[in-house]
Amino acid sequence: MIVTHVLGVDSSTQSTKALLVDASDGTVVEQRSAPHPAGTEVDPRAWLAAFDEAAGPLLGRAAAISVGGQQHGMVALDAAGEPVRDALLWNDTRSAQEARDLIEELGGPQACADVIGSVMVASFTASKLRWVRDHEQDNAARVTEVLLPHDYVSRHVAAPGTTAFTDRGDASGTGYFATAKGEWRPDLAAAAIGHEIDLPRLVEPGTAGAEMAGGAPIAGGTGDNAAAALGMGLEPGDVLISIGTSGVASTISAVPVADGSGAITGFADAAFGYLPMATTINAAQILDLQAKWLGVDHDELARLALQAPAGSRGVTFLPYYGGERTPNRPDATGTWVGLTPRTTREDLARAAFEALLCSLADAVDLVVGATGQEPRRILMVGGATKSAAVRALAPAILGRPVVLPPSGEYVALGAARQAAWALTGSLPQWQLPDTETLEADPTPGVREAYAALRDA
């Protein structure tokens, strides 16, 4: 039996991860990685070196390839195709004022969402282009082409002379893409940088954007969130919670979302649908801080939490330590209430988990409300899902079962699925192995107490 392999690559903020995958069933055959430089601005050529290290040894065994990557980053190139300056990454917030300026130029938050699908924030590429225009005029004048990180890496592996290409999923986070219409707005890109620039070709879902020198197809690639959704096989009605540095609740929708409040970003997915999501600034660090303050490791923090009753004997807090994006409270701080002489270490530990999960439950409610779809499944991923307390309390606070997929590199796996789609012409139906369903009796009083404090 001849096995066909495809290669999925995740060019993330921290590293390049490459998975060689059996195209028939999604089984990972080999995995490699290479680190990226730290920082919020990086020479994008470092990503190419990391790609060569991680993915290079696997290329000869792949019948097709696709690259998923960090969203929003600005790769500004000159007429020779060389970087004008270091790439500004999604987490570089220097362009916050420029984002506000662009929103006003589009007619306000709702008008902005109606045009691009989301209310502009500093993460978006357009705001970074405007920052360069306003602060680095010489650099701005030299920019002739702007790519997203995954576009830059995809072209690196393509045959010489290939023009840059991208997909609707990643394009929808630039600020110059009409998400509902599925087309570039080059006028908005020009307005951001101050002159006309070249943008990548848009590749239809399931098709190749180019070929490698040996003729193997290269799929259009996509942004990390859209790739992860593809890797997990999300379908309309599925809600995915991701607990990492930030918290994310996202869902697949058949219709676009344009939320003028800014709580929901209305991205496109990597297929033919949409990927509305709500993001919290504070997530895993809530538990990190609580463990630090109580002088315990994460396992002991979970053990303490599970010894306290639901509701933490009246202790409730808002975990907005670094401000918050959902809800939009950039100047907020962490707020604790209900502390008494009877409060125990166990109560303090449990309150941290309850606050984290209530915050994420609010994000779930937002994406569900924006789409009008009753959740079919709730899935949960991220490093914090290893915690026994997160696993025990999540279904109780969310009030429904939670599906826990096995740990894995889902961005790279989604890219591999996209590569197989481009290779065969049909989206493969890979199954997630060994999922675990978490169940618990609902504790609605916990969310009610949290909501009362949130809205006070």
Q: Which domain holds residue 211?
A: 5-224
pLDDT (0 to 100) of residue 372: 87
Q: What residues contact residue 404 under an 8 Å CB cut-off, 6+ apart?
A: 379, 380, 381, 385, 391, 435, 436, 437, 438
Residue 418 belongs to a domain: no
Domain C-terminal end among 192, 224, 256: 224
Question: Do both 159 and 306 map to the same domain?
Answer: no
Task: Looking at the structure, tell me whether residues 109 and 156 fall in a common domain.
Answer: yes
Average pLDDT on 372-377 reads 88
Q: Is 178 found in the same domain as 126? A: yes
Band (pLDDT 50/70/90 cuts) for residue 382 is confident
Tokens of 297: 């490791």
Arithmetic mean of pLDDT, 377-403 = 95
Please indicate, yes or no, whether residues 451 and 385 belong to a single structural domain of this protein.
Answer: yes
Q: Does 2 score more than 80 pLDDT?
A: no
Distance CA 355, CA 268 (A): 30
Which domain-ending residue is among 191, 206, 224?
224
Q: What are phi and psi for residue 97, nearest 5 degrees?
A: -65, -40
Whether residue 419 lies inside any domain: the answer is: no
246 pLDDT tier (thresholds 50, 70, 90): confident
167 is catalytic: no
Does one domain contain both 164 and 181?
yes
| 383 pLDDT higher than 90 | no
145 lies in the same domain as 288:
no
Tell me whether residue 411 is in a domain: no
Question: Is position 409 within any domain?
Answer: no
Residues 23 and 126 reside in one and the same domain: yes
Which of 167, 170, 224, 259 is catalytic? The answer is 224
At 1, is the pLDDT very low, low, confident or very high (cuts 50, 70, 90)? low
Per the structure, how many domains does the chain have?
2
Q: How far is CA 212 from CA 160, 163, 297, in A?
A: 9, 13, 47
Percent of the chain, pLDDT > 90?
Answer: 88
Domain boundary among 176, 199, 224: 224
Examine residue 421 and state whether it is found in any structural domain, yes or no: no
One domain for residues 245 and 385 = yes
CATH code for position 452 = 3.30.420.40
pLDDT at 390 over 80: yes
On whether both 202 and 240 belong to a single domain, the answer is no
141 and 275 belong to one structural domain = no
The rounded percent of the chain whose pLDDT value lies above 70 is 100
Same domain, yes or no, for 265 and 396?
yes
Q: Terminus-to-terminus CA distance in the chain, angstroms?
A: 65
For residue 410, tell me if it sits in a domain: no
- CB within 8 Å of 430: residues ≥ 6 apart: 25, 26, 233, 417
Phi, psi of 38 (to 5 degrees): -80, 165
Examine residue 414 and state whether it is found in any structural domain, yes or no. Answer: no
Alpha-carbon distance of 373 to 272, in angstroms, equals 17
**218 lies in the same domain as 296:** no
